[in-house]
């Protein structure tokens, strides 16, 4: 008679197996519809510049920006603002100033 496997080992044989790791993420990425980049009106550019000047590190922010194909929203803590390189980093996403469409600082209260 074959040796009985512990219950946890027996259950493991029924766990899902992903033969194509990353495949579904790639499919989801391809489903995105490419969106053309929009020009920022002068009034909105001025407001955006003022909001950028008011942002500080370790502050929560929500930034709508162009990622090369579409506009996406990145939310989180501002970890770096590089004025010389003209970029802002939210968590680990580095966003060029020229790609920003809208900034919403999520200050409590």
- What does the block give as tokens for 19? 């033969």
List % helix, strand, coil for the chain (3-state, nearest 5).
Answer: 30, 30, 40
- Annotated domain spans of the chain: 42-105
- Over residues 19-68, the pLDDT tens digits come to 677 787 777 777 767 788 889 899 999 999 999 989 989 999 999 999 88
pTM passes above 0.85: no
Classify the C-alpha dihedral 84-86-89-92 as positive or negative.
negative
With tokens 């590089």, the residue in question is 82
pLDDT band of residue 87 (cuts 50, 70, 90) is very high
Q: What is the predicted pLDDT for the residue at 109? A: 46
- Distance between CA 108 and CA 10 in Å, rounded? 50
Bridge partners (DSSP) of residue 20 are none
Task: Identify the CATH number of the domain defined by range 42-105.
Answer: 2.30.30.520
């Amino acid at each position: 008679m074959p040796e009985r496997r512990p219950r946890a080992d027996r259950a493991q044989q029924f766990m899902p197996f992903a033969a194509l790791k990353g495949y579904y993420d790639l499919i989801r990425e391809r489903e995105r519809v490419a969106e053309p980049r929009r020009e920022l009106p002068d009034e909105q550019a001025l407001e955006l510049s003022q909001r950028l000047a008011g942002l500080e590190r370790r502050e929560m922010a929500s930034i709508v920006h162009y990622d090369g194909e579409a506009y996406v929203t990145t939310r989180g803590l501002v970890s770096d603002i590089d004025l010389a390189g003209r970029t802002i980093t939210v968590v680990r996403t580095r966003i060029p100033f020229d790609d920003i469409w809208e900034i919403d600082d999520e200050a409590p209260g």
